[in-house]
Structure 1
């Protein structure tokens, strides 16, 4: 049974666990001062998990999310002044929709954790139908560098698929500066495919969209 919280405030909390599952929770118009949820050890089986959780019209302060497995999670309209970064996390049926700030999906910063997590993440992604759904999400900034692009449900008008091999073979010098940065990063992504999205709520939305359309016209993006 899902436990629901409405218009409640949660103080800063630090959760560092080797193995735990937080499940069947719904938050409606709640405020989170901030906190940390992270795996104590770089375990490629991802024993620390968020499962069957929803957030609707919530506010979030500074948070750190590291080494988590997230499955069946819905984030619908989230206010957060600072970027939310999912570092070395894996996803199975996670949906973002509505108005959001800056969200980033990145590998572990340090080399050794990256090597530890990579096998487990790759195995998980071989067994799922889809990882992320961002078709109805409006971000102020969005970077997806650690999720296989072909497992991301996307809006093809503003969110584009790029293949690592195609990006690596592209003539970087012939591209405009904004597009060049995106292609260089896609060429170094950990998976064969990545998603490049124009952030709808950004002042640079039109510039980003033009760059991505250029990449599509050149056959670099799909």
Structure 2
């Protein structure tokens, strides 16, 4: 394990078909930002970040595409722009502490999604848990590309939604805050999704009330 404490790293791009970034520990480090992405859509997901931890770090703009994350922990991260994880796969990834906006989404391009989505689903068949957000405090959080039943969550503020229940819901009768989210859950690639109330957002109470209403209606649990 290589340890880095209070170091600064310049903006860097890693665009590879196959590469492994592993055994790194960062504490109170500053990153100018960067890109980690597949050079071409690879269903084998050979671009891997493994056994990496960040504690109380700061990052600039980051682009993450088609990355397989394994045994990664992020504890308190300062970032002014959303962390976008597009078409990424997670196994034993822990997010905790204070974070900004974080979004897990499928590949935007149809051709890319046709290659990566079924490959990711196959990889998740062998994962006992993918993501742990039980101790995370987000300013905004969207998890559309990780199977909800593989997400460890705080049931008081983070709710599991089944795709079938979302598809059957009368969206117009739902709280306004939840309407678009339920529609997206009905179209998500997996049978379950997680809706988490963003603790660090001014809309936290509104979101929490809306998600509790979904639970009362049997749409969330």
User: What band does the TM-score fall into relative to the shorter chain?
Assistant: over 0.9
Shift of residue 173 of structure 1? 1.4
Does 1:158 find its partner at 2:157? Answer: yes
**CA-to-aligned-CA distance 1:84-124 (integer Å, 9 cap, x gap):** 01000000000000000000000011111001001210111
Matched pairs, number:
221
- 1:109-188 map, 5 Å: 109-188=108-187
Q: Which runs of 5+ in 1 are unaligned?
A: none
Residue 94 of structure 2 aligns to a residue whose secondary structure is strand
Shift of residue 168 of structure 1? 0.1
Q: Which runs of 5+ in 2 are unaligned?
A: none
**1:80 alignment counterpart:** 79
**2:59 alignment counterpart:** 60
Q: 1:176 and 1:94 mapped to 2: Cα distance?
A: 31
Q: 1:18 and 1:90 mapped to 2: Cα distance?
A: 15
Greater Cα shift, 118-127 or 52-61: 118-127
Does 1:201 find its partner at 2:200? Answer: yes
| TM-score normalized with structure 2 length | 0.99
Shift of residue 147 of structure 1? 0.3
CA RMSD of aligned residues (A): 0.5
**1:22 alignment counterpart:** 21
| TM-score normalized with structure 1 length | 0.99
Q: 2:186 and 2:45 mapped to 1: Cα distance?
A: 26
**CA-to-aligned-CA distance 1:161-194 (integer Å, 9 cap, x gap):** 0000010001111112111111101000000000
Q: 2:17 and 2:172 mapped to 1: Cα distance?
A: 46
Shift of residue 216 of structure 1? 0.3
